[in-house]
Structures are given as structure tokens and as C-alpha cells.
Structure 1
Amino acid sequence: MIFLLSVKGFSFSPVSQSVLLVAIGLLFVLLVVHVYAQRGVSISERRRRLFVGLRVLALLCVVLALLRPVLILEADESTRPRVFLLLDNSGSMKLPYAPSSASDSGFSRMDVAVGAARSLLEILPSKYETSIFSFTDSLRELDAALQEGLSEKGGARSALGSALEELASRAGAKPAAAVLISDGSSSFGPDPSGVAKRLRFPVYTVTAAREGALRDIEITDVLCPASGYAGTEVPVFVRVKGHGLENLDTPVNISEEGTIVSRGLLKLAGSAETQVSLSVKPRSGGLHFYRVSIPPVGGEISDVNNAVSFPLRVLSERLRVLYLQGDLSWDFTFVKRHLESDPRLEATFSLISDRKAALPAAGPFSTASSADIEQSSVVVLGDGAIGRIGVETWRDLEDFVSSGGGLLIIGADGLSEIPAVARNVLPAHVREHRLWGSKQNLSCELTFEGLRHAICDVERDASSIAESWKDVSPLVGSHSLEKAKEGSAILIEAKGGEERFPVVVAGSYGRGRVMLVAASGIWRWGFTLPAVGGSERLFDRFVSNSIWWLSSSEEESLREVRPTSWVFQNGEEVMFVARGEGHGQRLDLKVTDETGKLLVPALTEPSGADTVKVSFGTLGPGTYDYSASFGQEERSPGSEGRFVVDDAGPEYRSLFPDPGLLAYVSEASGGKFFRADEVDELAREIETFGERAAVVRQIRLWNHPLLLAIFATSIALEWWLRRRSGLP
């Protein structure tokens, strides 16, 4: 509806110079007048003037068309604002609205949210263009009655930031506002706080949960080695929080296939984290799945986070590691201590140094031979060893790796002295020594390849992995590596001054694998990080992952089809990585659930020359079997197995509502925060939003249909009158 219409002016864009056009027009007018002024023509004065007027009118239409005028109008126009009603449908919304002691604790957060939404829908549609959506990990449009589109169980993820971003794309340039009804939980996607700052419309937030003392047992972490060997005890550390529960003894059990294999007792300390030490003793080799569980306590808000599954790969014999060290160093001390403490490893140490006799306390050491290298699974070259082993030993190492062994090099000293015959083993190109520069502290950053690599997998999920590597202590070194070789992965980059260059690189050679840490000081990751709030497991997991990754031959992975995790959290994307699809051989991957139902992949995409990623999206909790083959080939080892999707997931890590986040989102976007019983006030508040806007319109007169109609009418009428008057 338009209120005040006003003419702002005219504009012209003539085909030629305007003065020339006007002059031509005037000449035409004078010519017309002159022609009809000839007295030799026998017509009345009145008709003569009519002929002149019609001819002038037609010529004026031509002149206007050549001048191309545009009429500019401005209108003060009212708009009908668009309002988005956004309803949180994640799993946490199925939890009680209030603590168990409250009178309204029988209602879920979703019950309260739906009630608030229905109250708003009685008011908003009559005044605003209203669209209703629910969200978990994506938006889903709802009907006005809220009858369809809401999941009974609730989604396994809450992507609040992603939902706001998608709303922004739907809003476009039209005035809009959003009403968000949620408990404030955001377990997936971008940070809602950052998204809110970039929005061009206000978000009015409504909290659908009441704060208060909640009772909940939460298993926050399970620490266990990635592998062990049959007949040997494997330690398991379980960390637990007991929100609202203090000084309560609770049993902690570990079970395998429904049978309890380990028991313990833990005293809860409220929201403070406590730990209990347990162990399992697998009898056979292979992949084992265990489940840690704590019986629910009366009044708990949820028992979903009372249980967590974890995998354990069991080996039939210990892994042999040969460590060749040049000089004693802190790196050697920390790595040696880790290798000796791991019961899955059989480590042998050999010191290659002229000062060996002066270091009696550093033993025991042995002298390494070609046979020792050949009988090992992984060989480690420490500080100073690179430049002290001879050409023959390098040839032995090259044969060892080429045949399927693993080689770990720690430190850059001596890299430039490696014989040319052995340089092909390295996963990166080494710069000329004169270009290295002086040693300095190197600020390290995990690369995208490193984030997805098994060596850097020090936490349970990708976001935690990135956080753990965020503030690692610097290493000491110089710019010794040029770039990674083809097929190798740069896991960690270093920054020295203005330069960025690889410092940790992993790759393959022949049937084996090689890893290079071209700096020193990794011991700091196990010494200083916990003191400054870092991950206490980063050093141990990094060294352990490196050894076990190197122990797997590259030949085994050439036809490897495995899930990216053996235990997925509820709501986590189930992804497979298949290596070997190529040369016309098509991957045949089958995944079945506990009922035997065959599942269809959600997405299959290439990821490299012979690698394919297969996504099954998010699957429900349970145990799944898989089998894979390439073309008509028989299934290779590792192409059959199973994986588990846990009951718990990111949505259940913290069950407490977060009204503070909702308040920040509303403040950052220009909206306002409300509680569930204040929706009437919200409806009044939103009425003040964007009622009028000035709209500028332009009307092109030169090609307007009316101008053409006037021109044609004047010409036709003149011709008809001339014929009636007997004129030619």
C-alpha cells in the first residue's frame, strides 16, 4: 500500500545531442504550420488548426522518444515484515523443562517450546508473513499447526549457528526478524555468537528451559590405549561428573557383549571430575568393543550419558621397536620412557655415540645389526643418529622400509648428510644446508591433512582434536624441508619469521611407511602442555599413534576399506574411506544394521587418484556390520568388520540449558531475550519492527505504451480527416 507519492524529477538520455534534437523538432513544427498556412487550400480555419495540432502532436511524440525521458517518483510504502519462527528440535529438548523438585518438572522443554510457539502463532500471522521451521543439524519447514515435521526422539545434534546462517540466506533483502525458541544448547556447526553478529535482522530468543539444580551422572571421558595384546591386562581410566550428586558411591562396570568383565567403585564429587581405574584382559586377538556403564540414580535428568563404548584392537604378540639414538636428549628421554611403559611394545635401544662409555646411567643399550633392523616392525632414528650411521645401514633401512617396515626420524640434524642412495626414503625434499638458517623457536600449526590423519588423532572427535593442537609448545629447528613429496602428507607446519614450511611429514616408500619430524623439542608437548591447560594425552597419543601407524605396511592399505572410527557418537557422520578403487575396479560396500537391513550410502565422492569417501549420514545407535570388495576380487583382510554408533553424543555432553548464549545472540543481532512465560510481551515488542520504507520508482516515458498510442492515434486521425476534406 502506497501512502505519499511525490515526483522527484526527470532525467534524459537522448539518442543524440538534445539541442540538436529540439532544433529539429522546432523546424518540423514550423514546417507544419507553414504548410497548413497556405491559403490555396480550401478548408475552414477551425479544421486547419486541428490538422496543425495533430501533426505537431505526432512530431512531439517522435521528439520525446528521441530524448528518452524518465520520470522519477518516490513513495512512502508500508511493508509486511517477514518473521521466522525457529523451533529447536534437538535431543536435549526432550529433557525435563525444570529440575525434578519443581511443580512443572513433568513437562519437557519441547512441550514448553511448542506451547510458546502456538501462543505466538495466534498473533503473528495476522500482522506478519510468518514462516515456521524446526532445526537439528539442518532446517525443516513446519506446518502452522505444528503437527508434522517434529521428531519424536529429537535430533542427535543441535546446529544453532548453521540454522541462523540458513535463515539469513532465506531472508534476502526483505525486512525480516526471527524468533528462536531453544534451551541454548549448540553442539554442532559454527558458533552462534559469531553468526549473530553478522545477521542483518534481529533475533528474539525465548528460553525453553528453567535453570536450577539438576541431577545427572555424565561419563566425560574414557582413556584407554588404542591396542593391546591377548592375555595381558589393558588399563582403562574412566572419568565421571555427578552434577547435583556429591559423596555418592556408585558402581562402574565394563562389559563386552553384555557380560561384565571389570567392576569398580567411584565416589561422585558433584560437578568436579573424578576418575576410577579399571582394566580389561582380552583373551583373543582382533577388534573388541567394550561398554562402560554406570547404573542410573533416582531423579537423574537423563541416563543416556551414563554409558560410553570404546574399541580395543588386540594383537597376538608385542610390536618390536628398535631405537637408534646419536646423543642423549630430552626428546629421547621422553620417547624412551613412553615406549618402555607401553606393554604392547618390545623396545630395544642402541646409542651411536663416541661418548657412550661416559653415560653408564643411560642404558641399557645394545649394538644394532642388520638382523635387528630386519626383525623390527618400526625403527626410530633419534637426534644425532642420522649423521652417524653408515651407507650400509642406510641401505639396510631402505630395504627394511621397502619391504613393509616403518621408519620414524626425530630431529633434522644430519638430514643433509643422508647418502643420495637413501634420500628416496624420505617423505619430503630436503633443502641445501646453506639455506637452512639458524635454529629458532618454531610456532607449530596442525594442517587440514593433519586434522584427519591417524597420527594426530589425540582426541575423540575432530573439534576436540583441533582444540588440543591449538596451543602446542614450539619446536626448535630451522627451515630444513622444502616441500612434501607426492603422496606424502604434511601434518604440522611451522612458522619461522615470515616463512611457513613443513615440519612433520608422513608418507610411504615401497610397501612401508616413513614419518619425519624435522625439529626437536617434542618432549615439551608431554611436559608443559598439561601445566597450561593443554591436553595431557597429546604427547603420549602422538608418539603411540606414530608407532602404530608406521607398523601397518602400505601394502595392507592399498585395498583398505574401513570406517573413519570404530565407535561413532550419536549424531556423528558415519564415513568410510576406501583405498584401491581404480583401474576400472568398482567399490562394492555393504553396511547392514542389527536387523539385517541393507543401508544405502548418502554420498559417495572421490578423494584422490584411488581413494573414495562413502558417507552414510547419521545413523541411529546400534551395532553395524560391513563388507567390501573391489570388482570381482575376493575380499582382502580388513574388508569385513563392524562398527558401533553409541547412544551418547555431543547433544548429551552437557544437559544444562544455556540462557546466556540465547541472551548474547539476541543482543548481538539487535533483538531481545525472553523467558517462556513472556511471549505476550515478545509479540508486542516485535510490532515495532520495520513498518515503513521509502521506495523509489522510475518510469521510462520514451517507450511507454501510452506514447505510442498517442502517436498512432494522431497520425490516423489526421489521415482520416484529410480524406473527409478531400485533401491528398
Structure 2
Amino acid sequence: MTFDLLPKNIILQSPDWAPVAFLLLGVIALLVVTNYWRMRAAWWVKCLGVLLKLTALVLLAVCIVQPMVQARRPRPQANLLPILIDDSRSMQLKADRGDRSRGESVQQWLDRENGWMVRVAQDFDVRPYRFAARLDQMADPADLTFDGGASTLRTSLVQLQQRFDRRPMAGVVLMTDGNATDDAVDDFQWADLGFPVYPVVPDSVRTPDDLRISSVAVRQTDFETSPVTVTVSAQASDDDLSEIQMRLIDCVSGTVVAEQSVAAGADGRTFQSRFQFRPQQSGVNFYEVAVFDQRDRDRFPATVGKPDSDELESASRWEATLLNNRRLVAVDRRGGLYRVLYMAGRPNWDFKFMRRALQEDAEIDLVGLLRIANKEPKFTFRDSTVNETNPLFAGLGQDEEETAEQYDEPVVIRLGIKDSDELSDGFPDTAEELFAYHAVILDDIEPAFFTADQLLLLRRFVAARGGALMLMGGAESFGASDFVNTPLGEMSPVYAPGRAVFRDERSAPRRDRKLELTREGMLSPWVRLRDNESAERQRLDRMPAFRTVNPVGDIKPGAQTMLMLRDEDGNRVPGLVVQRFGNGRTAAWTIADAWRWSMRRDRSANDDPGQAWRQTTHWLVGEVPRRVQLQLEGGQSLGSPVQIIVDCRDAEYLPLDNASIDLKVQQQQFGTTDKPATQASERLDVQLQPSETEPGKYVGRFWPRDEGAYRFTADVQAEDGSPVGRAETGWVSRSDASEFERLTWDRDGLAEIARQTGGEVISAGDLGSFAKSLPNRKVPVTEIWQYPLWHQPWVLCIAMACLCGEWTLRRWQGAR
């Protein structure tokens, strides 16, 4: 029975005795007051005596009705309490060589003799789990090995949530350093777990001494002598280091590409350096970056490979670990044969020097179409002796004359063709034929040479197929009357000049103009021929002047001017302008006598004109898509899948459905200078499925089994079995780099997890108090229980203390 005047959690077990108890209490209280009223004593003695005795009587009267306290507590063993323990290699770290490792500290926390473990086991279903690359249940803390290659913290907590879905969970006790290696998920919220997380951290933490690679960035350009730049950033835990060594090793050959001594930055802790080099071969290449202090040089031989696992704690003379001092890098120097179609309105020296330059590049195939005679008007009235074919072909034989250009057709010669059928009808007029090329160069040819369909096809080649178009200067370039209203004028990065300007420039005397690089040109490696600004300016000063430049109008919005030409009066005109157009890019080269550069160059020096033509051509074709493109995303650490995307196109570069894709993955093993590289594993087949959202795309997943370098190869066939193409790329699973990216306990990250989930960060020294308070926290499954309030020792103690105090007061004051 309960009373409205009592708290809701207090009930009376013997409510029938309440009237008797209250009556006796009232009678005895009246006698006590009367007795003290008649005493001869100070007033405060009377009041205090009455208060002490009445307090004792009230407590004794309450015991008659047997008050009970009603409360809720967790139902024993009904609520789950997983203990999630980090079993990765970072738990082997020690702040100092004489200290316990993080893993040893965790095992001490989990010792079953600890009172907190016994306490929580009384009320909760405690289940220990360990996680590294995956989540596993364990029976005993002794099963922990701390040799996992990853710390999939977020993934493991999500798996716990899924595993115990619809099961009551009181929370998760988390024992980790907080350095997770999961791939980031933008929209993930810890609060979505649905249960509180209680991270456990040591009472005090000291940051270990360490030098690590913080980032590696790879940049590829069309700069011929060093097209690949690897930027390495390292960070030390303190500012005691003034200089470190950085080394780059070619994994395939096992040779050292470069080694540099790098001084510390302004803060004394950061180091940065760049390696600029040219790979020995095109395609996928793998390199290893290593950073170390001079004291550890003997620990870093000039070979490929990481330290053994036992070197985690003892290899370095001063570092906590060497596992974050090396990192593999994949460089996909896209190779293959790029086909460039060169169409010229008349034979010229520029084609000769361009062709000579590109013959030194095995990756560029230059195909030339040179018009050597314009078409002639066709008359219906002719002498019977006049032939139908162009007179240039007279006397070559009847077979040649039958296949020669007619009188009303231009005469075009083909150079560099693969077979006799290629470009037999002149400039391509079908998408399948034109789209086989990666870039088109139009030199000194008027738009009227092309049919309307060919011009629209050329526009589609750039905008949709993603090809490149370069317009070169000449008598028929940029200023033709019909240039503005054609797709060529639309794709050009410069507007056509006004007729008056064009006429004045054509009739003006020739002026010497010196070449200059703009700011954009100086920042673009494919425009420069030297690796620094001062050397580039000296080269420009030695260059011969140009005299023939096409007049052009304004630069279109979004276009960039790379080269300018300046005359003696300081007047400047554009020399090279580029822009994006749809999926491709276009360029305008206004210099009509670039051949002067090749004819007047110093034969004993570098072939600068040849290098310029090769770099410009590589820029044209560098981003042109192929029929098969392979793209990889995610999967940087063990336990995280690599997202595979293969984009397939037909001959007209439309999405290719129902393609057959043979995708193989192979882990790489690298050798040294004495031992060549070998393939470490068999080829693994990965099944791909068509994308549900984008036609022509096929997607799949691959889970790296081990850390290291992987090579992905996709061979695609059309539905009829004809080959479409092959794509290849490289991938590096760098779990060690992520695992040891930071050596300190991530207290802030753990605190954020606890805050979002409604948990609390627990210090190791407070585990006992946490175990006592956990049953009083919010848990899913509880039960009601009662305990007698009157049977508590404190009730009898207070009553006895009040009676003794009242008796002592009367004796002390001599009250009667």
C-alpha cells in the first residue's frame, strides 16, 4: 500500500499498523514535551532534548509500519555488455622502452581478478570481442596477439550493432588507442549506433618519439625530362631533428631513383621534399618512399621491403616504430599508342619538324594528310582529249589514274598510315574512323575544305568523345570569312579578328616578335622546357624571333593564354591559347613560321623545338579517354573494399552494354638489384556487374587480403566477341601507414564517440567506480525490486544516537 504523502518509490508493508503507530507516537510525544516543560533548565536545553527524543521515537514508530523502498535495477544477465578490444599492431607501441605496451596495459585492465570485471559480470552478459581487420569473439584476454594490420573501429562497431540488432545492449566498453584505419564515410554519425560507447583510456599518456611519413602526393605532367613528381612530407614528434634522409626506390628494378638530405621546416618538426624523375617504362610502376634519421641508416638498406614485425619496438635507436617510415606508391604513367591526325592545307616545314620530333617518341603515332593541290572547277564542256583525273596523276598508269582524285577534288597525300585503306577517302567522315584518333591538328586549312557533316563530326569528336583539337596558324587560318560561323570558330579558344584588322595585319610589314611565357604558361610544365624560371627565361632570350603571326580577336572566356609574342614596340599578341571544350580540349597556335626555331637552333644543345612538339602533343592526348577505362576507389586499408569501376565504350564512344569483362587482380612482389621482381600471387578473378545508374559502366568490389601493391587488369570484349580494349592500373593497400599515422591516443576522437552515443570516457583508474555506477545508468531491460528501509543499519544507529545524545544532555545540564 502507498500513501499520496509518501514518495512514489516508498511503500508500507504493514499499513494496518499505521494508526496505532501514529497514536502511540502522539501520546509519547505529548508526554515528552510535558516532561521537558516542567524541567528546570535553559530553554535551548529543553528544545534540543525534545528534538533528539522525538527523532528517535519517529524512527522507531516508522519501523512499525515496515516502509519498503521500491527501485529498478538491470535484470541480471539480460543486458549485453560487449567489451571491444583493439588487436592491431599499434597496441604494441610503448611510450618508452621500459614501459608496458598499450596491449599489455589492456590485458592488465582485463585481468579477471580486477574487481570491476567481477562487478559488471554480476549484472550484465559480458562478451569480449577483438577487432583488427575484422571482428572476432574471443574467450580469454590471453588470446590477444596485437598483430592485426588494421583498426577498423567504425566497421566493427557497426557490425556489433548489426549482430545484436533487436537485442538489449547496455553499452560497449571500448579499449583502443582510437587510431582507426577505416575509410571515411561523410554521412556517418556515431549516434546512429543506438547504444552508448564507453572508451577506456590510460590515466596518463606520453607521446612516443617517432618520425613518420605524413603524406605522399604524385603529380604527373607532360614535362619531358621529368614528367613525374613525388612530393613527400614527413613529421617528427619533437624538434630534436634538424635533418633527415628521404629515399625513392624503383620497386621493379630495386634501384635507388634518388636520395636527398632534407632540413626541417620552420617549426622544426616537418620535412618536405620533391622527387622529379622519368619512369623507365610507361604503364603501371611502383615505388617505395623511405624517410629515416642518419642514426638509422643501417636499418634502411637500399632495397625494397618493410621492417620485420619484431622491429616494431627494437629496430630504431630512438623511434617507437619504423613501420611508418616507408610507403609504397603507385604511378600509372598511362602508355600505349596515341594516334594524332595532322591535316595541312599545303606542304610546310612545320610538319617536317613535328614529324621528325615525334618519331623519337614511341607512344605517338602521327598520321599526316597534306593537300598538295586544290580542287579545280568542273566544266561540262570539254575537249575529248581532256581527262577526268587531276593532271598531277597523268602518266602514272591507268590503275593509278582510275583511283586518283578527280578534277574537282583536292589532291591529298597520306603519310604514316597503317594500311592502304586508312584515310583513303581523305579526311574521315564517319565517327568510327575519326574517333580512332586521340587528337586532330589542323594547319593552314580553310573551313570550306570540310563538308558540313565533317565539321559537326569534328565538334562531336572534341565535345563528346573527349578528343583534342589544335588549330595552327597560316594563310587560311582564323581569318577566313566563313571561320566564325562554323564549328571550328565555335571550338577555337580565340575569336576571329575583324575583317579590317585581318586585312591590315596581312598587308603590314613583317616584324620580329620574341616569344614570352605568361604566368599560366610558366606554371604549366608542358609549356616550359626547363625546370626553373631563370633557366627558362635564358632559353627564351636565345630563341630566334618569329615574323609570321596570324591576327586573332579577343580571348574567349575561360581560355588561357600560354605564350605571347612581343615586337620591338612592346605590342603583344597571343601565341598559344588553350581551353576546355565539352569533354575535350582545344588549342590555337597562331605562329605560322615556327619552323624558324628548328632551322636556327644550336645543334650542339638540346633539341628544344623537338621537345616542345613532343610535350605539346602529349598534352593534347594526355586526358583523352579510351574505350576502356579502369577506375579504383577506397580500400586504402585492410578490411575496406576497393571499389572497381570499368567504363566501356563502342567505336563511336557510346556506352557499351552487354560487354564481357575479364578482370584480374595480382599482388606484386618486388626484388632487389640482385634479385629480380617476381609475381607474388596467382591472378584473382573479380566478377563485375552492370551499373544500375549509368550505362556502359560495370562495378565490383575487391577486398585486399594483404597489404602491399596490386595490379588490376581489365580485358573487355563486345557482345559479338570482338575485342574492345584493355585497361590496367595499380593500387596500394597501405594499412601500416594508416595504422601508425599517429602514435598518440586519440582522446578527442574517443571523446566525440562517447559524446554522440551518450557514453563517457573512462580513465583506467576509474574502472571500479564505473562498474558500480553502470547498473544505475539507463539500460534496456530492468526489473523492479524492493528492500526494507526500516531494516537498514543506519535507522537503528540514528535512533540510538538520538537517545544517547538526549540522555547525555540531561546529565550534562543536571536537568531533572
Higher relative contact order (CA 8 A, sep 6+): 2
TM-score (norm 1): 0.50
Q: Which has the larger radius of gyration?
A: 2
Larger relative strand fraction:
1
Output the TM-score relative to the length of structure 2. Answer: 0.45
